[in-house]
Structure 1
Amino acid sequence: MYAIRSSDTLRVYDAYLYRDGLKNIPGRYFDADDKAWVFPYTDEAVRTLELLGARLGDGIEPSSQSKAVAKKYETINTQPRVKATLYAHQVRAYNFALEMLEEGRAAAIFADMGTGKTLITISTVGTLYEQERIHKMLVVCPKSIVGVWEEEFRKFAGFRYALTVLDGTLEKKKCAFEFMNGTALQVIVVNYESCWRLEKEVSKWRPDIIVCDESSKIKNPQTAQSKALHRLGRISKYNMILTGTPTTGSPLDFFSQYKFLDESILGTSYYLFRNKYAILGGYQRHQVIGYQNLAELVEKVHAIAFRIRIEDAVDLPPFIDEVRSIRLEERARVIYDNLKRDCCAMLAEGEVTARNVLTQLLRLSQCTGGFIRSDEMSEPQKVSEAKLDALEDIVDGCMDEGKKLVVFARFVPEIEAIERMLKKKGIGYSLIMGSVKDRAEQVRRFQEDEDVRVFVGQLQTTGMGLTLTAASVAVYYSLDFSYSNYEQSRARIHRIGQKRKCLYIHLVCKGTVDEKVMNALKHKGDIAKLMVDDWRSLLNG
């Protein structure tokens, strides 16, 4: 459901399932031609739409209650122990989280991509640690972003901590708990798929706080990972969830996430919860055909939740750069290290060799992207899915937030893999690469067609002359060694006609040539010189 302002009215679309909640707004009527509910533009109407979780378009001011909440938390009372100055919206979220964890045991941060929810969380747990209220922290997140937590702690934590990322075999993960008992804040980062398999070890370790990042991963109360976190949530002292989109299709998605947070808020029975807030119909009344009592539901949810829309983060710069640190799988790491050390590596089928430095750098970049051709075969072999998994999580987040997305990649096999992923998800996309002829039509479809949600572009052929302002998020799946290509590609979304803040996400494999290239681009370095004169520093990245 989303709302736009039209003069002195609000027009609300995709609201059929929410129609019962909209009946609380005076002066409403349904425009059958436009298929939209129309309301007077009043503070009460905006507040109701906020509570129902509607996406609010440009020109719609936050309600007076939202402004009052923002004002209440704008001044720092307890200085966070981080190596950064928080933006105003981060200060408010930090103060809110501390108050929630002072008064109760749970806090939710609903923050759009690019607004810094990881930094907000590190600030919060740092203060709790300094106040001696916590000593052990468990972070549960998608596999693709475990490295982000490690990097963000290194960059921002201004307090003593010890952090380990659980990877490798299950036995290796189990053993890690035995060594995490020091006096610094002990932080364990684990992905959702592993967490439920380690429930016994986590219970024995007894974390003081559990943070579920991208908590919509546990929106289904019936999955093994959700059930495990419901149980673990009962034994921890504090719980937090972080997400941009707690509901990705149904208000009922709140239940499982809040059962983990604090089951006293929405109860312990999904069926009682569903009967109260859903309208059932269809065969034997088992199908959800609408929702009811939504204002009450969202009031309960927002009692412990702080919402940050990137449009409301007015002190953010016009564009934000984010580096997502990706861990190569063990097999891919072996291939990469062999190529770097010996200029050759064994693949599943055949061998790949590099006869000179430029070829070696090319093969290393291909390895981090996931595909390499052996010397004997013309077809590329998949050696890693790490970046593709990370991209899939970003795509899911953008689709949930109703945002279009641009993806830049260097190599054709990467682009073909991205295409397969989008087709599997049923997501419409436009594509420009060397073999595509109808480039103007591809751009037009992305800019004008609401069903085309992703633009995929080969970095070398998409850099100049294209306007892609329908998106405000761009992902760099892989980069080449051209600063010109990089700078030109950034201007595809950040240009005249763009009304939103732009977010650039760079997928960078940890401990690889990706880091050196990213660092050189960030500092506008001469990568050509780096390749010719300082090539050893690239290889030793």
Structure 2
Amino acid sequence: MKYKPHQYQEYATARIMDTPFIALLLEMGLGKTVSTLTAIDMLLNDFFDASRVLVIAPLRVADDTWAREVEKWDHLKHLRISKVLGSVTVRRKALKAEADVWVINRENVEWLVTEYGSKWPFDMVVIDESSSFKNPQSKRFKALRRVRPMIKRIVELTGTPAPNGLEDLWAPTYLLDQGERLGKTITGYRDRYFTPGARSGHVVYDWKQKKEAEERIYEAIADIAVSMKAKDWLELPERIDVPVPVKLSDEAQALYKKLERDLLLPYQDADVVANTAAVLSNKLLQMASGAVYDEERGIKLIHDAKLDKLEDIIEAAQGKPVMVFYNFKHSLSRIQERFPQAQILRKGKDGNEDIRAWNNDETPLLLLHPKSAGHGLNLQESSCQTVVWYDQIWSLEEDQQANARVHRQGQTRRIVVMRLVAEGTMDEQAIDALERKATGQEALMQAVKARISKIQQEG
């Protein structure tokens, strides 16, 4: 296919060429992969300003997206891609292959750094979905930090640079400029721009932004960060978000309330901290979806109301494909039992075939977990217009990334995103948090505390 870049794609490519280290904060659907590959091709073959390029990406993206983009565009077909995936033996063979670009999944970054040691060979590194390097304590961040002085060019790509707040910006920015703009340490960064909030002993769980911190932080990184919003550049078809209330029967509502009460009452006089809140809210969201694991990892059924509502939605789709996001394994198994035609997205080459089948309308019902379908997958070529969130989640980043699998560049149809919300349950708090874009640990803890307060009042 002949590449006819949008103006913003030409700009993105030019910034990569002109800036040795840069973050392209391109929203989902803006074609960041082809823009980056175009710059890579020019740096390799026209300007000779790069010789070996490494791309670090989520596993599915590493296995499928980068190679597929090279095959798709006429001006890139000469680029040779080597996938450093699979067993250690297969990865080592891929590293020795004649190639222009080597693609590895982020989980193997530590292995790659250890493999080469001081003989690091890649002078250009692209981090696809750089927000996955936001944790300065993670092994992948520490590994890349060790070889950063040996990298001449680095490009970070993400549509969600600070998914949980401005604290997330320090580590990816450090990988760009080695601490020049936001400080050499996360401690110094926090001291400069935040004040400590909720804590347990000496451990601070929450950091509050100082006044004007956001403005000062973005001002500090403005010269190495390019922010682009899809709505500013693309005429995408309308996306309609519809909360779908799911009414529980009196029997199911009573069972939910009893289980919620049994779960939360032991905490009524305790200080609910982040880890406890995460466990409790997870259980409550499971119960809202109709089932929960008991102590023996058996499944306790509560209701089928969401399954019944999903059946109505599938029937109303009149044979057009429907995409469903689930978060819990028991939700997946119950959906598969009710709808035998449902398919999941498999791994590796099987997954690539699943993507092809979906985009060719050969799959009537596709079940996806937001974590496995969050980044880079192009699923917009089917005639699907209905996306259903069966289970509700707290992560704004996962929500945005997952919905962008179909509502992105190349989509020609209006998309309706339906969220199944069990009335009177934790679903309602999760949806409210997403709408307010308040999806951090503080929002989660407040939601759990609100449920505890509610059962005390009813008590």
- CA deviation digits over 1:370-423, x for unaligned, max 9? xxxxxxxxxxxxxxxxxxxxxxxxxxxxxxxxx8999xxxxxxxxxxxxxxx97
Match of 2:16 among 97, 100, 116: 97
- Amino acid in structure 1 at the alignment position of 2:171: S
Residue 307 of structure 2 aligns to a residue in which SS?
coil
Structure 1 residues 167, 289: CA separation in 2 closer, same or farther (over 3 Å shift)?
closer
Match of 2:25 among 84, 88, 110: 110
1:200 aligned to 2:94? no
Structure 2 counterpart of 1:209: 124
Shift of 1:233: 2.2
Structure 1 counterpart of 2:49: 133
- CA deviation digits over 1:181-227, x for unaligned, max 9? xxxx6210000111211113455252121001011111001111111
Residue 265 of structure 1 aligns to a residue in which SS?
coil
1:236 aligned to 2:157? no
1:502-521 to structure 2, matched below 5 A, reads 505=406
Structure 1 residues 151, 439: CA separation in 2 closer, same or farther (over 3 Å shift)?
closer
The whole-number CA distance in structure 1 between the counterparts of 2:69 and 2:360 is 26
Structure 1 counterpart of 2:97: 179
Shift of 1:480: 10
Shift of 1:477: 10
Structure 1 counterpart of 2:384: 490
The whole-number CA distance in structure 2 between the counterparts of 1:428 and 1:306 is 42
Structure 2 counterpart of 1:166: 84
Match of 2:223 among 287, 300, 303: 303
The whole-number CA distance in structure 1 between the counterparts of 2:35 and 2:194 is 34
Residue 150 of structure 1 aligns to a residue in which SS?
helix
The whole-number CA distance in structure 1 between the counterparts of 2:194 and 2:16 is 30
Does the Cα contact within 8 Å between 2:84 and 2:95 map onto a contact in 1? no
Segments of structure 2 that go 5 or more residues without pairing to the other structure are 245-280, 291-303, 315-323, 327-331, 343-353, 366-380, 388-402, 408-459
Shift of 1:302: 2.6
Residue 115 of structure 1 aligns to a residue in which SS?
coil
Residue 91 of structure 2 aligns to a residue in which SS?
helix
Does the Cα contact within 8 Å between 1:428 and 1:454 map onto a contact in 2? no
Match of 1:280 among 196, 203, 209: 196
Does the Cα contact within 8 Å between 1:139 and 1:189 map onto a contact in 2? yes
Does the Cα contact within 8 Å between 1:122 and 1:157 map onto a contact in 2? no
Shift of 1:291: 0.9
Does the Cα contact within 8 Å between 1:280 and 1:288 map onto a contact in 2? yes
The whole-number CA distance in structure 2 between the counterparts of 1:482 and 1:97 is 37
Structure 2 counterpart of 1:221: 136
Structure 2 counterpart of 1:523: none
Structure 2 counterpart of 1:151: 68
Shift of 1:175: 3.6
The whole-number CA distance in structure 2 between the counterparts of 1:483 and 1:168 is 28
Shift of 1:489: 5.7
Structure 1 counterpart of 2:413: none
Percent of aligned pairs with the same residue? 23
Structure 1 residues 425, 148: CA separation in 2 closer, same or farther (over 3 Å shift)?
farther
Does the Cα contact within 8 Å between 1:177 and 1:201 map onto a contact in 2? no
The whole-number CA distance in structure 1 between the counterparts of 2:125 and 2:286 is 33
Residue 13 of structure 2 aligns to a residue in which SS?
helix
- Amino acid in structure 2 at the alignment position of 1:155: K
Does the Cα contact within 8 Å between 1:430 and 1:454 map onto a contact in 2? no
Shift of 1:144: 1.6
Segments of structure 1 that go 5 or more residues without pairing to the other structure are 1-81, 321-402, 407-421, 444-452, 464-474, 494-501, 507-541
**TM-score, with length taken from structure 2:** 0.53
Structure 2 counterpart of 1:44: none
- Amino acid in structure 1 at the alignment position of 2:216: E
Shift of 1:119: 1.0
- Amino acid in structure 1 at the alignment position of 2:87: T
Shift of 1:108: 0.6
Structure 1 residues 158, 454: CA separation in 2 closer, same or farther (over 3 Å shift)?
same
Shift of 1:307: 1.3
**TM-score, with length taken from structure 1:** 0.46
1:259-408 to structure 2, matched below 5 A, reads 259-263=174-178, 264-281=180-197, 282=199, 283-284=201-202, 286-292=204-210, 293-314=213-234, 316=235, 318=237
The whole-number CA distance in structure 2 between the counterparts of 1:188 and 1:174 is 11
Aligned residues: 292
1:249 aligned to 2:164? yes
Structure 1 residues 435, 222: CA separation in 2 closer, same or farther (over 3 Å shift)?
closer
Structure 1 residues 156, 272: CA separation in 2 closer, same or farther (over 3 Å shift)?
same
- Amino acid in structure 2 at the alignment position of 1:312: D
- Amino acid in structure 2 at the alignment position of 1:268: K
- CA deviation digits over 1:322-373, x for unaligned, max 9? xxxxxxxxxxxxxxxxxxxxxxxxxxxxxxxxxxxxxxxxxxxxxxxxxxxx
Residue 206 of structure 2 aligns to a residue in which SS?
strand
Structure 2 counterpart of 1:538: none
The whole-number CA distance in structure 2 between the counterparts of 1:427 and 1:117 is 36
Does the Cα contact within 8 Å between 2:113 and 2:120 map onto a contact in 1? no
- CA deviation digits over 1:429-465, x for unaligned, max 9? 989x99933459989xxxxxxxxx95898898999xx
- Amino acid in structure 2 at the alignment position of 1:307: S
Structure 1 residues 477, 158: CA separation in 2 closer, same or farther (over 3 Å shift)?
closer
Structure 2 counterpart of 1:119: 34
The whole-number CA distance in structure 2 between the counterparts of 1:87 and 1:405 is 34
The whole-number CA distance in structure 2 between the counterparts of 1:424 and 1:273 is 35
The whole-number CA distance in structure 1 between the counterparts of 2:189 and 2:54 is 28
The whole-number CA distance in structure 2 between the counterparts of 1:435 and 1:291 is 39
- Amino acid in structure 2 at the alignment position of 1:162: R
Q: Which has the higher contact order (CA 8 A, sep 6+)?
A: 2
Higher mean C-alpha deviation, range 484-493 or range 279-288: 484-493
1:4-23 to structure 2, matched below 5 A, reads none
- CA deviation digits over 1:244-296, x for unaligned, max 9? 11111121111111111111222321111111111114445845341123311
Match of 1:437 among 305, 308, 311: 308
The whole-number CA distance in structure 2 between the counterparts of 1:303 and 1:170 is 39
Does the Cα contact within 8 Å between 1:404 and 1:454 map onto a contact in 2? no
RMSD over aligned Cα, in angstroms?
4.5
